[in-house]
Structure 1
Amino acid sequence: MAQHQSGDTGAPSGTPSSVARRIDGIDAARALAVFGMFAVHLGVASHGLLPEEQGWALHGLVRGNSSALFAFLAGVSLALMTGRTRPVEGDALRRAIVRIIARAVLIGLLGVVLDLFAVPIAVILTYYAGFFLLALPFLRARAAVLWTAAGTLALCGPVASFLLRRDLVPTAPRTGSLTSLPEFLLTGYYPAITFMTFVLAGMAVGRTDLTATAVRVRMAVGGAVAAALGYLGPWLLLERMGGIDRLTEAHSTFLAGAPLGSMDAWTAERLRENTRDAMHSVSGQVPTDSWWWLAVGTPHTGTTFEILEAVGQALVVLVVCMLLAERLPRAMYPLTSVGRMPLTVYTGHILVLAILIPFQTETTMGAGGPWYMEWFVLGSLLFASLWRYAVGRGPLERGLARCADAAVTVVEERRRENGAR
């Protein structure tokens, strides 16, 4: 099945992937991930088209899933940059590693700079850079190995995190998006012990032939099954097997150790609702006062169920975006344009937020009032489309690529000099 593609893969020249063409559907999915983060950062009150109830529904859908999709697609990009279905080796692998390290350093520095603007969002770029470095040992792995690693981390990572945070690495107050190694690995907004599962799953997908119909069908079916398990598992364990009551007893200060059954029905249900609200307010990892927290599947909880749901949705979204980009390339042009310059668009929206925040009033939520979300999305689509048409690669993406190429040139020259001595 032919996929509508364009020339820039972002792969190192001279590698097998450099002769392959870019899959526009991946860019479209990446744009949706960026817009999902817009929706979370701007808040429900920023919607003009959606009533409040639908705004909250959208917020619940994209919160956590957009950042997971972003990390998943980072893994896909890493695989495409390093050989697609046939991982590069030798000199090509060394050059790819240098490029990835250079990109990671620059993206990490950009994340630190953006964090200094004190915009009240968790900047993902510093974490993102670290994920690139942690992925380096897996660049030569095939899809089966990558899926095995992702599955093992999805099953064992939440338990390991629970034990480590309970006994060895207590959660400290956060003073920025990322301020310490324990935050990066375990206790931060986007902890590596959770998000590397998304990166590894994305790399596994990138190691398959994404233009093959059979591969897409397996992705769609597997994604739907994983998402269903991610949603149904917590419902069964918490609502049907009494987990919500055990969590309420562990979490509620009102009960003070008393069993929930000692309360009247109205009070007991209010306490359960408080626990459900607490489940939805987690931002990184679940508390460690009860093992039942690992049965939760809400966003940013880092449980196996949340990971299953997020990876499943990412697979389905990617398949749908590839099909739409293939069949409606002109209609998808604005969306794929945003996906070609996600670093530029993501950085731009933080800078705009930094300008808007001083003008907030006590009655505004997020970055401002109604229609902010629509203006951010429309502005991104227009800017990216016009820039792509007139210039091509996004400004930050172009600068990042040039710096990475320069790093490769320096390393290669030093190797030649050392070899000549």
Structure 2
Amino acid sequence: MTEDHLPPDTARHSSRPGPAGGQRSPVPAFGSTGGRHNISRGARRVAGVDAARGFALLGMTAVHTLDLWNDDAGRATLNGLLFSGKSSALFVTLAGVSLAFVSGGRAPSAGRRMVAARWSVAARAVVIALVGLLTGLLDPEPENILVYYGMFFLLAIPFLHLRIRYLLLGSALFALLGPLLVWWARTSLPSADAYEDPTIVDLVTHPLAVGSNVLLTGAYPALAWMTYLCAGLALGRMDLRSVRVQVRLVLAGGALSCLAWGSSLLALHVLGGYDAIRRATPWISERTIDQIVVVEPDSQMPTTTLWWLVVPGPHTNTPPALLLCLGTAVATLGLFLLVPRTVSTWLLPLAAMGSMTFTLYTAHLAFMSFDVYENAPSLWFWAQIACFALFAVLWQRTVGQGPLEKVVSAVTHDVRRRVLARDTAPDTPA
């Protein structure tokens, strides 16, 4: 959400010696030859990632503003089907892609450059989390992902040097083991629901409770949602300029979503999971169970039976739910990487929004702390999107980076510079 939108680490890579005579990676920013054509392809790649991030912002705004479930009809709305859980999963997956960009691109950085990348990611995490904790004081209606985002980045630091296969393995392990840890925490830890939207005051007064919430029991439990970040890191290590890779992302993402959804329906309706859930939770109606399966629970997931772990509903934090949303995120990224080749002009507002989602999402949370949108949700949804697009396009053309993005960029670049200067100091002649 606070990415620099150009791979700063890879953008400086060349075959010339680095500081203190160290050899830099031969991988340039936008291609193996560094020619004009490759720069154009690289620019399209970044525009595609930004457009996908802008689409995620649009989806999260819709989820927070519009209805997800039609009570009269007893079914999910189109908004609920398209965006619930999937937009936030796309956000976190794209965060992993951007972390891959700033830690070496297709070839992970090594040595002092990796040390500098890790420290800059840690600084990025602190700034994002701090803004999230301060925004929480406004008590916005939707869950605030910013604090969790900071934790995602901190947890990603040990994974920055890994290759694609190990990142995918890590994503799979988080998808399988994370839900079990979340389940255990919600049935064992006291005050599991105490801090749905932690603030800076909560962190000071009850740091352990806030920590357990962000890691395990909150709206975006980090130990489960690292599924998306590890997968995003793996995607960022791929050649996202390649049409073949882009098509494979669309096909693989779609296949993963279908597999997750199909296996969940098999467990629920063929193996008896749905009936077991209904027997173990008799105070919940079938319509409510259906809502959890399709859209998301109104509050915390019940823990009356382990069969709940086969439910595919967004924000249930079960293995099928994580893999379903991951599949849609991967497919969406692939589509946006393909689309700019033919209709890039139409995506300019979306890409501009995606280049400053930290700023716009924070503004969205501030707006949602007021109740004015409840009387005319559709009007206020489109008003937000129009304002976001207009502001983003004008700001990007006149200033460049978004306001909060500029702050994060300044902090992280300063940290990177200091780490590299510290590491090269012993080699400096007296």
TM-score bracket, normalised by the shorter chain, equals 0.7 to 0.9
Q: Tell me which of 394, 407, 416 is aligned to 2:402.
A: 394
Q: Tell me which of 292, 313, 319 is aligned to 1:304.
A: 319
1:313 and 2:310 matched:
no
SS at match of 1:370: helix
Q: Tell me which of 201, 224, 229 is aligned to 1:199.
A: 229
Residue 53 (structure 1) shift: 9.8
Residue 42 of structure 1 aligns with an amino acid whose one-letter code is T
The match for 1:222 is 252
SS at match of 1:88: coil
1:326 and 2:356 matched:
no
Structure 1 residues 18-417: aligned runs within 5 Å? 19-20=29-30, 21-22=42-43, 23-44=46-67, 56-168=77-189, 171-174=192-195, 176-177=197-198, 180-253=210-283, 271-279=285-293, 280-282=295-297, 286-354=301-369, 356-357=370-371, 359=372, 364=374, 368-415=376-423
The match for 2:36 is none
The match for 2:17 is none
- Count of residues in correspondence between the two structures: 387
Whole-Å Cα distance in 1 between the matches of residues 246 and 186 of structure 2? 38
The match for 1:9 is 6
TM normalised by structure 2 equals: 0.83
- The RMSD of aligned alpha carbons is 2.7
- CA-to-partner distance for each residue in 1:348-367, whole Å, 9 max, x for gaps? 2222333x43x46xxx35xx
SS at match of 1:108: helix
Whole-Å Cα distance in 2 between the matches of residues 226 and 76 of structure 1? 19
Between stretches 19-28 and 327-336, larger displacement belongs to 19-28
8 Å CA contact 2:179, 2:317 repeated in 1:
yes
- CA-to-partner distance for each residue in 1:269-288, whole Å, 9 max, x for gaps? xx422332355443686332
SS at match of 1:60: helix
8 Å CA contact 2:142, 2:368 repeated in 1:
no
The match for 2:20 is none
TM normalised by structure 1 equals: 0.84
Whole-Å Cα distance in 2 between the matches of residues 288 and 225 of structure 1? 29
SS at match of 1:176: coil
Whole-Å Cα distance in 2 between the matches of residues 216 and 123 of structure 1? 31
Whole-Å Cα distance in 1 between the matches of residues 87 and 144 of structure 2? 13
Give the share of equivalent positions with the same residue, in percent.
Answer: 31
Distance 1:144 1:252, change over 3 A: same
Whole-Å Cα distance in 1 between the matches of residues 195 and 112 of structure 2? 42
8 Å CA contact 1:124, 1:177 repeated in 2:
no
- CA-to-partner distance for each residue in 1:121-142, whole Å, 9 max, x for gaps? 1111111011111001111101
Which 5+ residue runs of structure 1 have no aligned equivalent?
A: 1-6, 46-51, 255-270
Whole-Å Cα distance in 2 between the matches of residues 19 and 229 of structure 1? 35
8 Å CA contact 2:57, 2:361 repeated in 1:
yes
SS at match of 2:248: helix
Residue 417 (structure 1) shift: 6.0
Residue 383 (structure 1) shift: 1.0
Whole-Å Cα distance in 1 between the matches of residues 190 and 296 of structure 2? 21
Residue 69 of structure 1 aligns with an amino acid whose one-letter code is L
Residue 261 of structure 2 aligns with an amino acid whose one-letter code is Y
Residue 387 (structure 1) shift: 1.2
SS at match of 2:345: coil
Which 5+ residue runs of structure 2 have no aligned equivalent?
A: 14-24, 31-41, 203-209
Residue 413 (structure 1) shift: 4.7
SS at match of 1:83: coil
Between stretches 104-113 and 179-188, larger displacement belongs to 179-188
Whole-Å Cα distance in 2 between the matches of residues 107 and 10 of structure 1? 19
8 Å CA contact 2:152, 2:226 repeated in 1:
yes
8 Å CA contact 1:34, 1:342 repeated in 2:
yes
Residue 107 (structure 1) shift: 0.7
Whole-Å Cα distance in 2 between the matches of residues 143 and 66 of structure 1? 24
Residue 8 (structure 1) shift: 5.0
8 Å CA contact 2:125, 2:154 repeated in 1:
yes
8 Å CA contact 1:68, 1:310 repeated in 2:
yes
Distance 1:182 1:100, change over 3 A: same
- CA-to-partner distance for each residue in 1:100-153, whole Å, 9 max, x for gaps? 111111111100111111111111111101111100111110111100111122
Residue 235 (structure 1) shift: 1.8
Residue 252 (structure 1) shift: 1.4
Residue 203 (structure 1) shift: 0.5
Whole-Å Cα distance in 2 between the matches of residues 107 and 293 of structure 1? 33
Whole-Å Cα distance in 1 between the matches of residues 329 and 149 of structure 2? 17
Whole-Å Cα distance in 2 between the matches of residues 246 and 336 of structure 1? 46
